């Protein structure tokens, strides 16, 4: 199993100093829209590359649950009205980043998926880098990465990946796409699916944007890599009692549904 918890990487080391320096001096520099096709014409059409990347990323994520993705789900996820999501999607379709058919939904084209995976790679590498090199906590980094994912250059991305020894997972257990877009796959299911007495390992926390949830789980020791055992489940979808690091902890079904686990074998 090549799953290696992010936390095992040494926290501070000289090899981070140079990438950190690069990181800081390059922040104000907006990159060219090299990953987007027809970048110049995107700008002519008032299509902001950050908005384009955010939409493509959102569609990619939603498609993991159900594809094609409806425009209403995209609007909800972006926090915009359905009409503005639809108009954005029509523009993305014009640039051949998505396929869109009314009443059918949206799928990413190969070009759209490439952009989405590139942004997700940036996001997850940045999250890990902020923790390992700058001492951020795992509940702080998603917000930062959401901003920085759009502005780092390919060169900086490579340096961050190298400084972190080409990690396969981010601090929340989300797989980091490689340069080629390939991602590690872990056979994991929500904690709520498992039965009494199972020996489990936490692999991933689903909502890495929920800082409050992340702080709560960390307090309980429920982080990727932790070994746990289900001691009891109260009836009627009641609380789950867990054994974590020799201690007994109780969590509700809602929090448990955010925790992905695999069987410890």
Residue 139 touching Zn ion (CB under 5 A): no
Residue 132 touching Zn ion (CB under 5 A): no
Residue 170 touching Zn ion (CB under 5 A): yes
Q: Decide: residue 101, CB within 10 A, 0-12 exposed, 13-18 middle, 19+ buried.
A: exposed
What is the C-alpha to C-alpha distance for residues 165 and 255, in angstroms, rounded to an integer?
Answer: 32
Residue 122 touching Zn ion (CB under 5 A): no
Span from 63-71, 114-122, 138-146, 176-184 in contact with Zn ion (CB under 5 A)? 138-146
Judged by CB, which is closer to Zn ion: 53, or 240? Answer: 53
Span from 96-104, 141-149, 152-160, 198-206 in contact with Zn ion (CB under 5 A)? 141-149
Judged by CB, which is closer to Zn ion: 156, or 176? Answer: 176
Beta carbons of 175 and 183 less than 8 angstroms apart: yes
Residue 121 touching Zn ion (CB under 5 A): no
Residue 57 touching Zn ion (CB under 5 A): no
Beta carbons of 7 and 225 less than 8 angstroms apart: yes
Q: Any idea what DSSP says for residue 31?
A: P
Taking residue 87's Cβ as centre, other Cβ atoms within 10 Å add up to 13
Judged by CB, which is closer to Zn ion: 88, or 148? Answer: 148
Residue 208 touching Zn ion (CB under 5 A): yes
Judged by CB, which is closer to Zn ion: 150, or 172? Answer: 172
Beta carbons of 85 and 75 less than 8 angstroms apart: yes
Residue 73 touching Zn ion (CB under 5 A): no
Residue 172 touching Zn ion (CB under 5 A): yes
Q: Any idea what DSSP says for residue 32?
A: P
Q: At what angle do helices 154-163 and 17-26 cross, to 10 degrees?
A: 160
Residue 142 touching Zn ion (CB under 5 A): yes
Judged by CB, which is closer to Zn ion: 11, or 17? Answer: 11
Beta carbons of 254 and 262 less than 8 angstroms apart: no
Residue 174 touching Zn ion (CB under 5 A): yes
Give the angle subtended at the CA of 99 by the CAs of 59 and 146, to the nearest 5°.
25
Beta carbons of 126 and 148 less than 8 angstroms apart: yes
Interface ranges with Zn ion (CB under 5 A): 127, 142, 170, 172, 174, 208
């Amino acid at each position: 199993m090549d799953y290696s918890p992010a936390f095992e990487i040494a926290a501070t080391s000289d090899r981070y100093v140079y990438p950190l320096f690069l990181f800081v001096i390059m922040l104000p520099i907006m990159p060219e829209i090299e990953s987007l096709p027809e970048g110049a014409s995107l700008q002519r059409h008032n299509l902001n590359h950050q908005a384009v990347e955010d939409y493509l990323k959102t569609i990619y994520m939603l498609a993991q649950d159900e594809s094609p993705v409806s425009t209403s789900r995209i609007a909800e996820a972006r926090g915009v009205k359905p009409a503005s999501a639809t108009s954005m999607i029509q523009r993305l379709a014009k640039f051949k980043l998505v396929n869109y058919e009314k009443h059918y939904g949206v799928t990413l084209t190969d070009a759209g998926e490439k952009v989405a995976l590139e942004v997700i790679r940036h996001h997850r590498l940045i999250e890990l880098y902020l923790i390992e090199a700058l001492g951020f906590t795992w509940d702080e980094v998603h917000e930062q990465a959401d901003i920085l994912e759009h502005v780092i250059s390919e060169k900086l991305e490579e340096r961050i990946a190298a400084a972190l020894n080409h990690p396969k997972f981010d601090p929340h257990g989300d797989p980091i796409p490689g340069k080629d877009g390939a991602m590690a796959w872990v056979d994991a299911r929500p904690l709520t699916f498992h039965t009494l007495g199972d020996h489990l390992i936490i692999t991933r926390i689903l909502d890495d944007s929920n800082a409050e949830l992340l702080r709560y789980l960390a307090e309980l020791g429920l982080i990727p890599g932790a070994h746990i055992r289900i001691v009891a489940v109260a009836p009627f979808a009641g609380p789950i009692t867990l054994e974590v690091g020799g201690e007994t902890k109780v969590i509700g079904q809602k929090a448990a549904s955010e925790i992905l686990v695999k069987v410890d074998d």
